[in-house]
Chain A
């Protein structure tokens, strides 16, 4: 279903973190050949060309309502940011910045390199294909052979914050990735989320969708090396 869920094929991964100046526009990010497919996908369909041109990385990160899909993709990819503080600049996880556990002016965005074992997936529900998602799940799994080394899932629409990392996928680490483990994560995630009612969907619906979409995003990671199906 066009625009509903990603079906991404990953190119050869970069070997170094991809660093983007915080003054860079989202359109310039999208235009970079290094732009990860998950990031590219999250910047099109909903965010218009005009918004991408006008919006610098800094604003998109510090106001995650501007581009929540993109922020979710970054969280799932394990992005970090360089922020300036009283004692100079430092690199912190993007998740910490979004949770207000780190402060400072964002100077740069870093997207860590992925190995050949990186797999990813994204799924969402929206009123229409180009509408802002009601709930979105974005998952990235780093595999070493058949073993999960890292697993991250970011969701929108199921917490008071626009975007947040879920804890539940961490239970995949050290184990294999299969339908049973994915189902367990999806079930745990439904318990973890704290959705609220709004005009787009009730809390009950959002909770149910968190499970469905997280399952789908992770299930795409089963698709093989380099990305989703």
Chain B
């Protein structure tokens, strides 16, 4: 509540008259959350993101832009007010009893992190009340004011269509994934005709899952189960970090640097401390100088440890200066303005290549940072690796091609900002409730910074409103903890949207120079990549992002000789970190664009050229062993690949050879006017966890009724990993997902897992779940055998919540559970298991795009995107396709418009979601997802990863398509209208 004078406001909230005491400037958002309507979310505070939307007299408004006082006498609707069809216990838990919109959102899979879901549902409600039968365009237009970073909006739109149809009593074509199993010898491309013909012309295409003829059928794995957390997210329950209020909780706020590079000569917090209601003000004088690296990675973290909690030097605009805890957020912000700071402004450098030049400012001149390769030249790391014999390879080369490529610094734009609440528990242990992807890493990393042993820290991860790598980092937890230690009280800290841009993390913007040698026979025999990695002000993920970049880029075509040379440099920009795609997507832009250019210049068919060279089944990943990822690499061999089939399917679906090379003003016409159409493609691979490093664990415990607790350290950040892990366990134990109570993650109660990153959860954590389930299954069978008087468990199997003997006799799991717990050979059926892997099997994919380019303005539109993916066996086609669709929204922004831009002083000029611009619902192209299943022998039930690969090929596919349309090659991302226009002018 505001600190200004208060007034009472009476308004109707969800049909109930309420009188709220509010400040004159209190927003409706703050008033509603203060009154425990937690479905209404903070996302930006300036009306850009729309997640604070409520209905005011039936119309959608940003509650952050409306003063609570102005809502007096009016009717406010939040998602809490949507009436379930059946109230009470059933309505609270069963999707079938929800409001039709909420039900459709859950069933279609429109919910990932769920942070924007209440707002989307409310807007849809308002729309359907105005227009019960909206067109897809009208739905998209209505929803365009609520940003989603997870879903690509595909299933949100379908959910609204489905709900609208149900509410009208009409039929709506199902959007459930379509399965197609190939006959022996049948090409996956042959199933497309029937698939496309089966859909009405105006209906969007659901995901298509193609299975090879010999893929073993499953019962739970592969099913389009709804997310286990779907209902609570759809009804807006208080499940996110910020949705609790602790007694006596204080509000923290962070003072950040206005300078790109400066030394703090003097800092005086006395005026701030004197402000009534301010409980603590901490500066670098108050916080111990403990060096750390903020990237949430396994022990020992990669160097350098170049950060401290609060420093006497600032290295980018937005860097930490001081922190305050006060009784209200407004007081905390007022206190920040009362901290006197005297800066000695230092020269700064924003460009990575300039940072390497002689005389560039030294950004880390402190003496206590170890592990910087050359601090005086701002080089954090120098990485070099090669595989094969250079001289022999280059001697075979007939043609050498080189290209320099650049990509921009992209912000994650996770809609839930970083938020953390710290408090002491009754045992004097610090409880950290935080929006993180890496709870176990946070606990370990936090310990030395705050002087508490690990055993006195508990990290709880609630539901997470999107992370994408940005929350694979220690961002607020140490500061929040310091404030709790200083005050003895619970403290909440939440970033503003501006701070998300300037003080969290972003995508590394590299400069890449590729050199590829080919023979006249179209063989790639040598590939070299020189990379300058810009890690901003701090090292954090600077080493590993660039190593992944080199490893993935040089593995795709797996040339007999590969070489990677990289300097990672400091600049005075906000620090990049982990971001979905993690270096690979940047380098695939350069690699795939150059490969397409080579084919064009040589007159080769680009698909045939790539197919001849991409890594094949049974081949060793040559550079992987030499390069590794932060540690030594391991020998790895491709054990499954559906890349050939992905490309085959994509070519057929896109009618590639009919469209390629037309440069037409319309898809079937000739060039005229100022619009040119083009089609492009790229292929890619990624990884499944970090080989030899990532480890996950799971515990499964059987309950009296035959249900199970599934306790995982794996961190569901909206991806649906809780659901797919339950499916993996369910497949083994013969029970549906409904029979699992999934808990993730709490460092006190769930076993260790490295967290949600590196595309590892399905493969690594899923492997642990499968092992634990197999152990539990054996225990169940042994106990059942004893109950049945059988000599052993051989011949027993689990299916449909029963243990079934070969003679058909059976016991229910509930019978087994009750017996084991209460009656006979009493023991808890429980198992824990861990899993790690020395291989990281790559998923493969092909991405195709169609674009329309305005050759007079340089603006282009992406009209259609198709991604054909081999992610091994698909555990859940709804959540898997959701991963692809959401990734495509992010990478379209990366390729098209998203770019953090700085002025000369180092200030970000577009630190708002509006000017920065992420794709909205009403500008998404048609998205199609096709899974080409394979059976990865090392994966759980044949699964590989799906989380990141969707990021990897859109940028080069668009570059290829723009070239197809216009003849220009673009080498810098994003492809803004002016960049395209300038390239066209230079033709």
Contact = CB atoms under 8 A, between A and B. Distances in A.
B261 to A, nearest CB: 22
A86 to B, nearest CB: 29
Contacts of A208: 981
A126 B859 contact: yes
B136 to A, nearest CB: 13
B59 interface: yes
Interface stretch (A1-9, A13-21, A88-96, A98-106): A1-9
B208 to A, nearest CB: 26
B815 interface: no
Contacts of B899: 199
Interface in B852-868: 852, 854, 856-859, 861
Contacts of A32: none
A51 interface: yes
A202 B60 CA distance: 36
A199 B978 CA distance: 10
Interface in A116-153: 125-132, 134
B53 interface: yes
Given A205-B978, A213-B857, A49 B142 contact: yes
Given A50-B50, A50-B60, A54-B62, A131 B917 contact: yes
A53 interface: yes
A162 to B, nearest CB: 13
Interface residues of B, number: 43
A27 B56 CA distance: 13
Given A50-B61, A51-B145, A205-B978, A128 B897 contact: yes
A183 interface: no
B370 interface: no
Interface stretch (B387-395, B556-564, B728-736, B919-927): B919-927
Nearest to A215: B856
B854 A4 contact: yes
Interface in B952-987: 974, 976-978, 981-982
B47 A51 contact: yes
Interface string B141-157: 11011000000000000
A125 B859 contact: yes
Contacts of B62: 50-51, 54
A127 B857 contact: no
Interface string A160-202: 0000000000000000000000000000000000000011111
B910 interface: yes
B897 A45 contact: no
A49 B852 contact: no
Contact of A128 (B896, B901, B910): B896
Contact of B861 (A4, A27, A44, A50): A4
B909 interface: yes
B65 interface: yes
A221 interface: no
B325 interface: no
A83 to B, nearest CB: 24
B730 to A, nearest CB: 41
Interface in A29-84: 44-45, 48-51, 53-54
A126 B978 CA distance: 10
Nearest to A209: B857
A217 interface: no
Nearest to A3: B923
A212 interface: yes
Contacts of B897: 127-128, 131
Contact of A44 (B66, B123, B141, B915): B141
Nearest to B54: A50
A212 B857 contact: yes
Interface of A is mostly: loop
B919 A128 contact: yes
A179 B802 CA distance: 80
B901 A199 contact: yes
Contacts of B47: 50-51, 54
Contact of B981 (A48, A54, A199, A205): A205
A192 to B, nearest CB: 19
A53 B59 contact: yes
A125 B977 contact: yes
B850 to A, nearest CB: 13
B920 A130 contact: yes
Given A127-B896, A212-B856, A49 B922 contact: no
B978 A201 contact: yes
Nearest to A199: B901
B649 interface: no
A125 B858 contact: yes
Contact of B60 (A53, A127, A209): A53
B675 interface: yes
Contacts of A45: 141, 144, 922
Contacts of A51: 47, 62, 145
A144 to B, nearest CB: 30
A127 B917 contact: yes
Interface in B42-97: 47, 50, 53, 56, 59-62, 65-66
A198 B675 CA distance: 26
B137 to A, nearest CB: 9
A1 B861 contact: yes
B923 A130 contact: yes
Given A4-B854, A205-B981, A50 B917 contact: no
Contacts of A4: 854, 859, 861
B506 to A, nearest CB: 16
Contacts of A3: 861, 922-923
B852 A54 contact: no
B901 A202 contact: no
Nearest to B901: A199
A4 B858 CA distance: 12
Given A51-B145, A54-B66, A128-B923, A27 B59 contact: yes
Most buried by B among A48, A127, A205: A48
Contacts of B910: 199
Contact of A49 (B123, B857, B923, B978): B123
A126 B977 contact: yes
A45 B861 CA distance: 15
Nearest to A127: B897
A131 B922 CA distance: 10
Interface string B901-923: 10000000110001101011011
A21 to B, nearest CB: 17
A51 B146 CA distance: 11
A125 B145 contact: no
A196 to B, nearest CB: 13
Contacts of A200: 976, 978
A205 B60 CA distance: 37
Nearest to B975: A127
Given A44-B141, A201-B977, A129 B923 contact: yes
A104 to B, nearest CB: 24
A126 B141 CA distance: 17
Contact of B145 (A1, A50, A201, A213): A50
Contacts of B144: 45, 48-49, 130
Contacts of A54: 47, 61-62, 65-66
A202 B901 CA distance: 13
B74 to A, nearest CB: 12
A53 B978 contact: no
Contact of B922 (A130, A198, A205): A130
- Which residue, of B50, B53, B59, B914, has the highest number of chain A Cβ atoms within 10 A? B59
A201 B909 CA distance: 13
Nearest to B119: A50
12 contacts: A3-B923, A4-B854, A49-B123, A50-B50, A50-B65, A53-B56, A53-B61, A126-B859, A127-B859, A131-B923, A132-B915, A198-B909
Closest 9 CB pairs of A and B: A48-B145, A127-B897, A199-B901, A130-B923, A125-B857, A129-B923, A205-B978, A50-B145, A53-B59
Given A1-B854, A49-B59, 6 more contacts: A1-B859, A126-B859, A127-B859, A127-B976, A202-B978, A208-B981
